[in-house]
Amino acid sequence: MTTYVVLLRGINVGKNRKLPMAELRTICVDAGCADVRTYIQSGNVVLRSAQKAPALVAELERRIRAHTGFDVPIVVRTVDELESVVARCPFDTSVDPTTLVVAFSQQRPPRGALRDLDAGAFGDEQFVLDGRDLYLSLPGGQGRSKLAAAVARTRTGAVATVRNWKTVETLLALAQATTSGR
C-alpha cells in the first residue's frame, strides 16, 4: 500500500461546503483506505491505499460528492513527492511558516501560465513555479497579499489547493510516521 497525502480544495471555508473530518475519515475508510488521519479542518488527510493516485482521487471525489452533494477537487502527493516539495523550496523556511505557502496542483500548469504576472509589481512578495508546485513567499501574510490574489485569478487550467508551510511540514511528518508504521 502507498501512503498518500490527500488535499481537498475549498471545504469548511465559511458557512458553505461543510465536511466534518470524522465524516471524511469514514469516507476514506469506506473507499478501502487504511491508517486514515486528518489534520485540522481544511481537508488534509494522510492515508494508505492500494489504489494508484488517479483512481484514488476519482474514488474519493465520487464518494465525497455522493455524501455532501457538492464537488470537491482533490490533489494527492506520495511521501516521496512531499519530501521533494520540502527539499526543493526556493525560499527561507526559517521565517514565519504562515507566510510561506505552496499551491499544489494535480497537473503541471501549461507553459507560460504565469507569464502575465509582473514579479516586480508585488514588492517583497515572490513566487517560483517548480513543476506542479507553486511556492509563494508572502512576508505580510496571505490575507492581504496582492500576489496571492493575482495568482488566484490566474487561469492555469489546473486544479490547485494552497497550504502554508507549517501545514506542509506537519503533513510530511504524519505521512512519514504512517509509512514507517509509527
The per-residue pLDDT for range 43-58, each reduced to its tens digit, is 899 999 999 999 999 9
- Tell me, what's the pLDDT at 155? 67
CA distance 129 to 65: 31
Helix (H) or strand (E) segment spanning residue 21: helix 21-30
Confidence of residue 179 (pLDDT cuts 50, 70, 90): confident
Q: What is the 3-state secondary structure (H, E, C) of 113-162?
A: CCCCCCHHHHCCCEEEEECCEEEEECCCCCCCCHHHHHHHHCCCCCCEEE
CA distance 125 to 141: 9
Q: Which residue has the cell 514579479?
A: 119
Average pLDDT over residues 110-130: 82
Say yes or no to pLDDT of 74 above 80.
yes
Domain-by-domain residue ranges, the chain?
2-81+170-180, 83-164
**Mean pLDDT, the chain, as a whole number?**
89
- Tell me, what's the pLDDT at 24? 94
Helix (H) or strand (E) segment spanning residue 105: strand 100-105
Let me know if the fold of 2-81+170-180 is the same as that of 83-164: yes
Fold of 83-164: Alpha-Beta Plaits (3.30.70)
Which CATH superfamily is 2-81+170-180 part of?
Answer: SP0830-like domains (3.30.70.1280)
Write down how long the chain is: 182
Query: HSE of 84 in the Cβ direction (CA atoms, 13 Å)?
Result: 10
Spatial CA neighbour of 108 closest among 174, 171, 157, 65: 157
How much of the chain, in percent, has pLDDT values that exceed 90?
58
How much of the chain, in percent, has pLDDT values that exceed 70?
96
